[in-house]
Amino acid sequence: MLLLPGWLDSGPTHWQSRWEALHGDRRVVQADWVWPRRGDWMARLDEVLLDEPAPVALVAHSLGCLLVAAWAAHSRHTARVRAALLVAPPDIEREDAPPQIATWRPVPRGPLPFPSRVVVSSDDPYAARPRAQALADAWGSGVVDVGPRGHLNGDSGLGDWPEGRRLLDALLAAAGG
């Protein structure tokens, strides 16, 4: 599993950090978490992906979801991905989006070339449910709404988030392994 944190990385109470410790998943570490550059993040994902035995699963949170979409639209290595779990994709096209992520616009909306599932919260402050649904539809992803849980991050109190791990396992089983 390759963990793709969002803007500012995932802190110690974030489920991604806990999965890294519990399951040995590998975090894709970016050079700049504060002022992320889409092209740099895409190149880093390619680099890490090619260092892993294929195939891999991508487990993205927030801006990491948009990384998957942008990367998939340009990379020649998408066949190395079994599936992608995309948790809490943000709406960065809102007027109040932070200027640090402005270079990520527009959000790629092409279908992903591998099975994917988008996990949303009904009260995510960074993406209204209809916007998250529209992204999932554009990417050809199924959607799972886990109810009112905020941005599905460390502040959401998810702990080890076993529900998320079950969603990942189900996605991988449906993808054939």
CA-nearest of 127, 123, 121 to 90 is: 127
CA torsion angle 53 56 59 64 (round to 10): 70
For residue 177, pLDDT beyond 70: no
Averaged pLDDT of the chain:
96
Residue 172's pLDDT band (cuts 50, 70, 90): very high
Contact (Cβ atoms closer than 8 angstroms) between residue 19 and residue 160: yes
Backbone angles phi, psi at 89, to 5 degrees: -65, 135
Structural domains for the chain: 2-174 (3.40.50.1820)
In angstroms, what CA-CA distances link 159 with 4, 141, 156, 162?
18, 25, 8, 8
- Asked if residue 19 has pLDDT above 70, the reply is yes
What was the pLDDT predicted at 54?
77
- Convert the pLDDT of each residue in 80-106 to its tens digit: 999 999 999 999 999 999 999 988 999
| 10: nearest Cα among 20, 98, 43 | 20
- The per-residue pLDDT for 150 is 97
Mean pLDDT of 58-79: 97
Evaluate the CA torsion angle 89, 95, 100, 103 in order and state its sign: positive
Do 72 and 110 meet the contact criterion of CB atoms below 8 Å apart? yes
Contact between residue 141 and residue 117 where contact means Cβ atoms under 8 Å apart: yes
Residue 70 has pLDDT above 70, yes or no: yes
pTM of the model as a whole: 0.97
Categorise residue 54: left if φ over 0, alpha if ψ from -120 to 50, beta otherwise. Answer: beta
